[in-house]
A and B are shown apart, each in its own frame.
Chain A
Amino acid sequence: MWKTILRRILIMIPEVIILSILVFLLAKAMPGDPFTGSINPKADPAQLHHLMKMNGLYDPWYQQYWNWVVHLFHGNLGNSYQYQEPVTRLIGSRAVNTLWLALFTTILTYCFALPMGMYAAKHEGKLPDSIIRIYTYVTYCIPFFVILVIGVWIFGYVLGWFPTTGSISSTAASGLPSIGSRFYHILLPGVLGALFGTVNVVQYLRSEVIDAKRSDYVRTARSKGVPEKDIYKHHIFRNSLLPIAAFAGYSITGLLNGSLFTETVFSYPGMGLLFINSISYRDYTVITALVLIYGILNLLGTLLSDIILSIVDPRIRIQ
């Protein structure tokens, strides 16, 4: 068990290193220099030259990369040129928003998907099953950003039920009202994300339960006279739960990807919106940090899922 985890982490290390080099080189390849926007456009070219030199921007790339990595390990990701603020602090405040939204969406997704998957499997091949299947496919096929735009239009602008920008109301008092206001702001994107993100969990749970239904241990339980309700509760659901939980890790990738769109549509100040803004300002330090963080979060999500699955299914461990 621990060996599996440790070996997985060891495999991760070269991946992270390659990712960091890739990200660093891509940021270097981006057009323009980071000072053009931040200092007086009429500034003396010699002064600009001096600034570039001071910041080590004329060093060979591996030298720059090495400095960057050393700083990274000191928790120093540099300063954002756009916000004139340490990147760590900037991203820290945004990350909280993104993670809240992601967590809320995940919980809601499971709230919707688990009953649907169970119900579909219970009535396999009948009308409820096909309705749920059509629902999951319809929601899966429509590009999510279109849903977001239409959602914010109907519920935000036309009906006016939900806020359309920001993560907290500027007038909210601290304490309970501020928590309430935060929750109010993530309600609509969270519900939309959950309603349209059920397909994986529903399909997987459904097939797990259908497999379990046909398995010998369930047949034995049934022939022993265990009530149908208890069969589902104790025998089927419990066995399917852990592999389903493992999906939470894999879904991180999708959620992070979606955060770019969700946060743009709702002008929600998270990491996704920060990335989009930083791209337009060529704010390299922020861009590299964000790509790196997203990559590592993806990796940790997969790792989490793999670990859960290796606990459930020893066959995976042997590999």
Chain B
Amino acid sequence: MSLIEIKDLKVHYPIRSGFWNRVTDSVKAVDGISFDIEAGETYGLVGESGSGKSTTGKSVVGLEKVTSGSIMYKGKDITKKSNRKSLDYNHDVQMIFQDSLSSLNPRKRIEDIIAEPLRNFEHLSKDEEKLRVLQLLDIVGLDADALYKYPHQFSGGQRQRIGVARAVATNPKLIIADEPVSALDLSVQAQVLNFMKKIQREFGISYLFISHDLGVVRHMCNNIAIMNNGRLVEIGTREDIYNHPMHIYTKRLLAAIPETNVSRRAEHRANRLKVEEVYREQQDKYYDKDGLAYPLVQITPTHSVALPEDLAEQLKHEGEVQA
């Protein structure tokens, strides 16, 4: 059994209009997605901004009201508030936010910030709690000095590490990391990511790693789901996605990864233009008449792509021939 099983998750926001302010339409932020997260793995959720990946993350941690579908944890559907309560769900599932400054209460000292989940879920004595906070700070590489300071006194990278320490405090099974490093400098990004990896190794935590940066995702994730306009377009292992991308949207995302090798700049640019050209030509084939992705079709045991039936058959065949 997987750690978390997300099934046909939908989050729609109503649009009210007209004279009586009735619900006339809805924004489909998340429109029927399903995937599983295994214990101990890092699951990447990739998409451009507005694709619904953050909404998905917030639904999994219980911050978003779900329209329909289920999220199963320990055999219970945690989209219901009562189930979250009875499971002490957030003891096991925590979140790291994108904006490290906004996610730490500016009026609270670091000790109180990190101890907050401990105080709510584990009732420790004063000394035990302080020791726990100090150890957590040590694990994310911060000195004990930090204890009585305020968030604004730290740099972005340090703050994000404090955010990591808070998320780890109750030793959760799963942490939702919503673009945890996209607001940081490149050099600091690597540092925070390495702390996250180290913690995963030491504590056996799973991550749902939400990002728009395929480079970072490649560094972090075993399994990856690509999201576009509220639907999943491709699911697969790291190898599936990076070496055999099948959906044109995935190909386009991959082509957009910046190339550091300057000597191959022209080649890279030509490749990007070619992918873009193909995308424009074949867009109608890969999306239905409303411009939305098709349901996922399994190509290999690990790899599923959102394709219409005929195209899927064709690609499956090509894949087998290649293999």
A6-B21 Cα distance, complex, nearest whole Å: 13
Which residues in window 1-28 of B have CB below 8 A to A? 19, 21
Q: How many residues of A contact B (CB 8 A)?
A: 3
Interface residues on B, range: under 10
Residue of B nearest to A2 (CB): B19
A89-B224 Cα distance, complex, nearest whole Å: 80
A28-B21 Cα distance, complex, nearest whole Å: 39
Tell me if A7 is interfacial: C-beta within 8 Å of chain B: yes
Hey, which chain A residues are within 8 Å of B21, CB to CB?
Answer: 7
Hey, which chain B residues are within 8 Å of A6, CB to CB?
Answer: 19
Q: Is the interface of A mostly helix, strand, loop or mixed?
A: helix
Shortest CB–CB separation between residue B25 and chain A, in angstroms? 14
A3-B21 Cα distance, complex, nearest whole Å: 10
A7-B22 Cα distance, complex, nearest whole Å: 13
- Residue-wise, chain A 5-29 has the 8 Å CB interface mask toward B (1 for contact) of 0110000000000000000000000
A6-B18 Cα distance, complex, nearest whole Å: 12
Residue of B nearest to A10 (CB): B19
Residue of A nearest to B17 (CB): A318
Residue of A nearest to B20 (CB): A7
Hey, which chain B residues are within 8 Å of A7, CB to CB?
Answer: 19, 21
A6-B19 Cα distance, complex, nearest whole Å: 9
A7-B18 Cα distance, complex, nearest whole Å: 10
Hey, which chain A residues are within 8 Å of B19, CB to CB?
Answer: 3, 6-7
Which residues in window 173-187 of A have CB below 8 A to B? none
A3-B19 Cα distance, complex, nearest whole Å: 6
A152-B21 Cα distance, complex, nearest whole Å: 53
Shortest CB–CB separation between residue A300 and chain B, in angstroms? 22
- Residue-wise, chain A 238-271 has the 8 Å CB interface mask toward B (1 for contact) of 0000000000000000000000000000000000
Shortest CB–CB separation between residue B26 and chain A, in angstroms? 16
Shortest CB–CB separation between residue A6 and chain B, in angstroms? 7
A245-B19 Cα distance, complex, nearest whole Å: 27
Residue of B nearest to A7 (CB): B19
Shortest CB–CB separation between residue B27 and chain A, in angstroms? 14
Shortest CB–CB separation between residue A283 and chain B, in angstroms? 43
A295-B21 Cα distance, complex, nearest whole Å: 27
A71-B21 Cα distance, complex, nearest whole Å: 35
Hey, which chain B residues are within 8 Å of A3, CB to CB?
Answer: 19
Which residues in window 1-57 of A have CB below 8 A to B? 3, 6-7
Which residues in window 220-239 of A have CB below 8 A to B? none
- Residue-wise, chain A 187-204 has the 8 Å CB interface mask toward B (1 for contact) of 000000000000000000
Shortest CB–CB separation between residue A3 and chain B, in angstroms? 6
Residue of B nearest to A6 (CB): B19
Shortest CB–CB separation between residue B153 and chain A, in angstroms? 28
Shortest CB–CB separation between residue A10 and chain B, in angstroms? 9
Question: Can you give 4 A-B contacts (C-beta < 8 A)?
Answer: A3-B19, A6-B19, A7-B19, A7-B21
Q: Which 4 A-B pairs have the closest CB atoms?
A: A3-B19, A7-B19, A6-B19, A7-B21
